[in-house]
Amino acid sequence: MPDTDVIVEMRHITKRFPGIVANDDISLQIHTGEIFAFAGENGAGKSTLMSMLFGMYQPDEGEIWVRGKRVDISSPNEAVALGISMVHQHFKLVRNYTVAENIVLGIEPVTRLLGLIPYVNMRPVNKAVRELSERYGLEVDPTSVIEDLPVSTQQRVEILKMLYREAEILIFDEPTAMLTPQEISYLLDIIRKLREDGKTIILITHKLEEIKQVADRCAILNHGKLIATMDVATSSTRDMASKMVGREVIFEIDKTPARPGPVVLEVSDLTVENEHGVDVTQDVSFQIHAGEIFAIAGVAGSGQVELADAVAGLSPVKTGAVLLEGRDITRMLVRPRTLKGVSYIPEDRQDVGLILDFLLEDNLASKSYFKAPFSQHSILHKDAFDAYADDLIRRYDIRCSSGALTLTRSMSGGNQQKAIVAREVEQDARLMIFVQPTRGLDIGAILAIRRRMIEERDKGRAILLVSLELDEILAVADTIGVMFAGRMLKVAPADQMTREEVGEYMMGVKHA
Amino acid sequence: MSAVNTIIIDGLALALPLLVIAIGGIFSERSGIINLALEGLLGFGAFCGALFAYSCVAFHWFAPDSLAPMYLSFIVAAAGGALFAVIHAMLCVKFRANQVISGVVINILSVAMTGFLTSQINKTVFSGPSSRFDLMTAPRLTVPVLSKIPVLGAVFTRFYPFEVLILILLVVFWFILYRTRFGIHVRAAGDNPQALDAAGIEVSRVRFVAVLISGALAGIGGMCFAYSIFSYFSGAIYLGYGYLAIAALIFGNWKIMPTFAACLLFGFAQSGASQLVLLLKVNSSVGDLAMIVPYALTLILLAFFSKHNRAPRSLGEIYDKSKR
Ligand SMILES: Nc1ncnc2c1ncn2[C@@H]1O[C@H](COP(=O)(O)OP(=O)(O)OP(=O)(O)O)[C@@H](O)[C@H]1O
Ligand SMILES: [Mg+2]
């Protein structure tokens, strides 16, 4: 190996899954101490490639070299021994254990009771974790229990886990997908700090902005192939996007002014409480008209998700009313609501949105399977499922290895989301509720969904959008409602509010 | 002896064997493997232990009044239970079979196998037509001073030696589950096996060992019944106490100390009910009704307390490395 600077090298890596080539002859080099980003459409093979570096899969062809030596990484254990660690899209934490217990899992320090009986002593671990956390500014308390912690803190626990194991190569798989903008910039700071410390960082993300902010170099994958490795400093996000999608990307979204019709959804004085009996929304009122996109802005945890859940019928209403086209649906069950014309894209795609162990076609039909043509005289017609799924897969560009018969769990995160969007849009509902619809999606898919929202609006549907991303809200909303601490602080037409104003309401600084 | 004393003495004699079986169940279930096989495991363990103790007497391996066969039979019962549990472990961990079905099948297999073997062995080895192995009655111990304490003294009165053994096992296995590396891995395997795997620990090994532990402890529990309720081994050992132990560990929220409390509750419920029957002097067929008390109690508790319970998150889930 001539280049001592190269810490990881992949040579002609190919990985196949039944029906699909997830990685196709990929060769690249990653240097010590750089932040190396991967971008690419949903299902392009980013997670698969890095899972091989982490030993979760083995390449079918090709070689991996680490620090100038050829390695066979056949388990995560061996990866860790090589100083490679990974934070997955879905965290791997034991939820009823403390932070420190999770961090030392598998390498628990043993002390001898009475010099004889071995037992696990957490005290030194707690101390070490606390020091490590302070050194990188992670603000994690080693003794808190995982299930009590918000997602962003859990992620920092994962980071601590890597640091505690003295990893040199840190892989992050879409670390920002679940975070709020504030949390994202905090995380990016941490990542920079890690680089200053000499760590090598591999970052998979869909957000080209983030790549632009922190990364040194960026590899673009498309359909399993390596398209380019770019120097971030000298390329624009527009370049990256077009390489990623394989054609020029048009960022602008055509949006004509709304032509609102009659009121479709009316929410009045809605109060919802969570399972602990705490009011998470308080006396929220607003209206959405046909042909209008009403977007709720707010920092995470302002009550917007609970509000959407209550409108969709997933959680009970404490006081107040929800009216759909003048009819009271406050206490209506979900199925009749669906039939009356409410469709819903939930925030939690894996737990609420999909049944992961079902086939894609079953998930696509899961809101209409009881109707013709899927069911006749209570007997399901598989052909109808197949035909329907094939149609949706084509029209919504869902990438999956075995078509309608793909196991949903095996699909990439972004394509799972596309499946939900397809199912819900096809409901042909009067009111469409979108909660974080573009989370984890690639830039092409994001633009497609935003355009779709506007298209549906133009067809006269009422759309309720909940998003943590201000960009998204400003791109599509006709009316913006800002929530703060469970209250709707401000409702105004989108063209009468500036980004700064919305931001101030979101932080609760400004009041109506 | 007062009725209260008897309730305490008999209650403990039932509660403690239940507890040791339930602790075994906790190990298995905390590691993520549903264990309905406890009933079959305790029966097979008791069969092995009893066969050993019976042979000791029949072949004069020890002096006629030696207690050694009894004590050794507990070790044999533990080994036998663990051996039988290998079937459950293999099916559930290695071959990823449905854990409920595996458990139920093991129970049926255990009844059939021990019944068949008992009469065959009796016929061929001991040349008797019996369908049971007779055992000595276990001695009962009383601590001199402590037993004189009013009411509580009953705890130190006329107890079986195995009750002491079980209390020691309680401490040992509590320590293992909550304070050792293995225990940490067991509990992690039942909550998030992916996390344990990512931490470099072989999930299937942890689960395998946990199931073997459940077999060994169930075997010991079964042996206790053979020496206390029956003083012989036969098909009568399958009284449903394995299932009662499962109920106890569920009320105990898969935690050892609360499960201890649940076992005490069941034990005292049963001994209390039989004392009540005696006091009321009803005839014996009605008296048998007392036997249903723990089970009726199970149903009632189940209805009221289930919603507060939280099973291990991955209980019953087949662990698949490649799942994401
Ligand atoms: N275990 C598996 N079995 C079958 N197919 C798989 C498996 N894992 C991944 N795939 C397929 O391989 C392809 C690449 O998936 P991968 O998860 O690497 O994509 P990705 O680039 O990370 O996408 P996303 O941005 O949506 O997370 C997808 O088409 C996916 O369906
Ligand atoms: Mg991915």
% of chain A surpassing 90 pLDDT: 65
Mutate to test the pocket of ligand 1, among A48, A210, A442 (most ligand atoms within 8 A of CB): A48
| Whether residues A9 and A61 fall in one domain | yes
Query: Are both A71 and A146 inside the same structural domain?
Result: no
Q: Which helix (H) or strand (E) element contains residue A110?
A: strand A110-113
Mean pLDDT of B146-166: 90
Grouping H, G, I as helix, E, B as strand and the rest as coil, residue A85 is strand
pLDDT band at B323 (very low <50, low <70, confident <90, very high): low
C-beta A414 within 6 A of ligand 1: yes
Evaluate whether A173 touches A86 at the Cβ level (below 8 Å): yes
Mutate to test the interface with A, among B174, B192, B308 (most CBs of A within 10 A): B192
Beta strand spans in A140-278 (E): 169-173, 200-204, 217-222, 225-231, 263-273
Instruction: Give the count of domains, chain A.
Output: 4
Question: Which positions in chain B touch A106 (Cβ < 8 Å)?
Answer: 185, 196, 199-201
Q: Mean pLDDT across the stretch B83-104?
A: 95
Does the N-terminal peptide bond of residue A373 adopt cis geometry, omega within 30 degrees of 0?
Answer: yes
Residue A442 near residue A220 (C-beta atoms within 8 A)? no
Question: Which CATH number characterizes residue A186's domain?
Answer: 3.40.50.300
* Angle, vertex CA A388, rays to CA A424 and CA A460, nearest 5: 40
At B41-73, the pLDDT tens digits run 999 999 999 999 999 988 888 888 888 999 999
Q: Which of B170, B220, B205 is nearest to B49 (CA)?
A: B220
Contacts of A97 in chain B (CB under 8 A): 184, 187-188, 191
Among A206, A224, A248, give the residue marking a domain's end. Answer: A248
Running DSSP on this structure, what letter comes out for residue A274?
-
Beta strands in A207-336 (DSSP E): 217-222, 225-231, 263-273, 279-289, 292-297, 319-324, 327-328
Domain membership flag for residue A453 = no
Mean pLDDT, rounded, of chain A: 90
Complex ipTM: 0.86
Strands A169-173 and A200-204, by their bridges, are parallel
Residues A77 and A172 in one domain: yes
DSSP E strands, B112-151: 133-134
Amino acid letter for position A158: E
Ligand 1 near A401 CB (within 6 A): yes
Task: Give the nearest ligand 1 atom to A221 CA.
Answer: 21
Cα A48 to middle of ligand 2, angstroms: 7
Mean pLDDT of A152-164: 92
Contact between B200 and A118 using a beta-carbon 8 Å cutoff: no
Alpha helices in A115-204 (DSSP H): 123-135, 151-164, 181-196
The whole domain housing A196 covers 1-83+168-248
Domain boundary among A166, A198, A226: A166
Rounded Cα gap, residues A309 and A267, in angstroms: 13
* CA dihedral of A297, A302, A303, A305, whole degrees rounded to 10: 50
CA–CA dist A30, A11 (Å, integer): 12
How many CB atoms are closer than 10 A to CB A139? 10
Are A105 and B179 a contacting pair at CB < 8 A? no
Distance from the B161 Cα atom to the nearest Cα atom in chain A, whole angstroms: 26
Whether the CB of A97 is below 8 Å from some CB of chain B: the reply is: yes
The ligand 1 atom at the shortest distance from the C-alpha of residue A89 is 27
Q: Do A185 and A158 reside in the same domain of the chain?
A: no
Cβ separation A120–B181 shorter than 8 A: yes
Indicate if the pLDDT at residue B230 is higher than 90: no
Question: Rounded to 10 degrees, what is the CA torsion of A37, A42, A46, A47?
Answer: 120
Q: Is A93 on the interface with B (CB under 8 A)?
A: yes
Question: Would you state the pLDDT for residue B67?
Answer: 87
Number of separate helices (H) and strands (E) present in chain A = 16, 24
pLDDT the model gives residue B200? 83
In a domain, residue A373? The reply is yes
Strand blocks (E) in chain B = 133-134, 232-233
Residue pair A439/A413 in contact (Cβ under 8 Å)? The answer is no
Residue A284: helix, strand or coil by DSSP? strand
Alpha-carbon gap: B20 to the closest alpha carbon of chain A (Å): 22
> What pLDDT does A299 receive?
82
A8 lines ligand 1 (CB under 6 A): no
Distance, in angstroms, between B279 CA and closest chain A CA? 48
Q: Is the dihedral of CA A189, A192, A196, A200 positive or negative?
A: positive
A417 shares its domain with A271: no
Q: Cβ(A413) to ligand 1 under 6 A?
A: yes
For residue A487, the cross-strand partners are: A484
- Rounded to whole angstroms, how far apart are CA atoms A329 and A309? 13
Specify the ligand 1 atom closest to the Cα of A414.
Answer: 26
**Does any domain span residue A454?**
no
| For residue A2, pLDDT beyond 60 | no
Contact between A404 and A433 (Cβ < 8 Å): no
Q: Is A156 in the pocket of ligand 1 (CB under 6 A)?
A: no
Of A166, A193, A221, the residue at which a domain comes to its end is A166
Question: For ligand 1, is residue A46 a contact (CB within 6 Å)?
Answer: yes
CB contact A80 to B (< 8 Å): yes
What are residue A484's DSSP bridge partners? A487
Per-residue pLDDT tens for A11-58?
999 999 988 899 999 999 999 999 999 998 888 999 999 999 999 899
CB atoms within 10 A of CB A418: 25
Q: Name all contacts of A55-58 with Cβ < 8 Å and 24+ positions apart.
A: A55/A79, A55/A84, A56/B322, A57/A15, A57/B322
Beta carbons of B188 and A120 less than 8 Å apart: no
Question: Quick check: is A242 in a domain?
Answer: yes
Average pLDDT estimate for B239-255: 93
pTM here? Answer: 0.80
pLDDT attached to residue A509: 76
CB contact under 8 A, B192 and A101: no
Residue A337 lies in a domain: yes
Cβ A40 under 6 angstroms from ligand 1: yes
Residues in chain B: 324
- pLDDT mean across residues, chain B: 91
Ligand nearest to the CA of residue A26, numbered in listed order:
1
Identify which ligand lies nearest to the alpha carbon of A403: 1
Longest Cα–Cα distance in chain A: 79
Instruction: Please report which confidence band the pLDDT of residue A3 belongs to, taking 50, 70 and 90 as the band edges.
Output: low
Same domain, A504 and A355: no
pLDDT tens readout for residues A114-138: 878 899 999 999 999 999 999 988 8
Cα–Cα distance for residue pair A400/A415, rounded to 1 Å: 8
Same domain, A102 and A230: no
Residues A327 and A394 in one domain: no
Shortest Cα–Cα distance, A158 to chain B (Å): 11
User: Tens digits of per-residue pLDDT, A411-451?
Assistant: 888 889 899 999 999 988 999 999 998 887 888 888 888 99
State the Cα torsion A73-A75-A80-A81 to the nearest 10°: -60
List pLDDT tens digits, range A288-297: 999 999 999 9
Rounded distance, CA A203 to CA A217, Å? Answer: 10
Alpha-carbon distance A366 to nearest alpha carbon in chain B (angstroms): 22
Q: Please report how many Cα atoms fall inside a 13 Å half-sphere around the Cα of residue B186, on the Cβ side.
A: 28
Residues A486 and A375 in one domain: no
A300 and A311 in a single domain? The answer is: yes
- Which residue has its alpha carbon closest to ligand 1 atom 20? A43
SS3 content of chain A, % helix, strand, coil (to 5): 35, 30, 35
Same domain for A69 and A218? Answer: yes
Only one residue has tokens 């995160």, namely: A413
